[in-house]
Amino acid sequence: RLKPGGRRENPFGPGTLTRVIAVTSGKGGVGKSTLTANLAVALAAQGMSVGILDADVYGFSIPGLLGLAPAGIAVKPTRLDDMILPPIAHDVKVISIGMFVEDASVAVAWRGPMLHRTITQFLTDVYFGDLDILLLDLPPGTGDVAISVGQLLPNAEVLVVTTPQSAAADVAVRAGVVARQTGQRILGVVENMAGLPLPDGSVLELFGSGGAAEVAQALSAGQDTPVAVLGEIPLSIALRAGGDVGDPVVAAHPTDPASQAIVALARII
């Protein structure tokens, strides 16, 4: 659809029928991208039409996680007229900043306006078709992006990812508060890197426990509806290894405890 003046409309703006879920975290390295990629694959396997918009300028790891970056270089999207066609992996349509940078080893140091323009262009110029769900993988905890998402995607819900550690939980609370200030609804909190199940049946809590509960409690203060912990994803070698080779664990090892936790999360969100 074209707006007057020939510019295309953002199909995910106000009134959209697509559920838009922004996956956020307070800091990097908590597994936000790994969870986004696997959650998308799990949702697609449950019959949903799913897209991922990877605007994590510092990380842009989604293509690699889904096998769309052979030899470390993200595949280039094809074009149809002036539309960009998103590459598809595991039935998930993917667009990533990593598909547009010439040299992935050069750090992308972008300021807010540039990021805003890129997200706007991804929303308007990428042909996703009718999606049930669009997942956004955004840079950790920055105000600039939260404001862009608030403006461009007023219907977006926010899924906050944290580890069990208090330090990660504190910054995750701030990311949630910023998202809420820009008008987004908090869908819930996910604890990633929870206990590692050991062969003898015990569980090793490498990063402690309770981070997500802490975040949910802090974000529930003063709210009519409390914010819930929606899932706990255990530490998993298969999950990490699957990410390294671009073969998402939910598809490659469905019986792995991390896969089961992510599939369960996909069912309830």
Binding residue numbers for ATP: 26-33
3-class secondary structure, 158: strand
- CB–CB of 77/87 below 8 Å? yes
Q: Does 28 bind ligand ADP (CB under 6 A)?
A: yes
* Stretch 220-259 residues interacting with ligand ADP (CB under 6 A): 233, 235-236, 239-240, 243, 258
Q: How many CB atoms lie within 10 A of CB 97?
A: 26
The two counts, helices (H) then strands (E), for the chain are: 9, 12
| Alpha helices per DSSP H over 195-248 | 211-220, 237-245
**Rounded Cα–Cα distance for residues 233 and 163 (Å):** 9
- Residue 108 makes contact with ligand ADP by CB under 6 A: no
For the residues of 102-121, what is the DSSP string, one character each?
Answer: S-TTS-----HHHHHHHHHH
Closest approach of ligand ADP to the CB of residue 176, in Å: 15
Asked whether position 34 contacts ligand ADP by CB under 6 A, the answer is yes
Q: Could you tell me how far CA 156 lies from the centroid of its own chain? A: 12
DSSP β-ladder status, 19-25 and 133-137: parallel
Q: CB-wise, 11 or 64, nearer to ligand ADP? A: 64
Closest distance of CB 33 from ligand ADP, Å: 3
Question: Please, are residues 263 and 40 in contact by the beta-carbon 8 Å criterion?
Answer: no
Residues annotated in a binding site? 26-33
Q: Which is nearer to ligand ADP, 18 or 192 (CB)?
A: 192
Query: Applying CB under 6 A, which of residues 61, 118, 148, 162 lies at the interface with ligand ADP?
Result: 61
Out of 32, 90, 116, 253, the only residue in the binding site for ligand ADP (CB under 6 A) is 32
* Single residue of 30, 40, 53, 178 touching ligand ADP by CB under 6 A: 30
What region, left, alpha or beta, does residue 193 occupy, with left being phi > 0 and alpha being psi -120 to 50 degrees? left
Residue 55 interacts with ligand ADP (CB under 6 A): yes or no: no
Binding residues for ligand ADP, how many (CB under 6 A)? 19
Interface with ligand ADP in residues 176-195 (CB under 6 A): 192-193
Provide the minimum distance between the beta carbon of 184 and ligand ADP in the complex, in angstroms, as a whole number: 19
Question: Which stretches of the chain bind ligand ADP, using CB under 6 A?
Answer: 25, 28-34, 59, 61, 192-193, 233, 235-236, 239-240, 243, 258
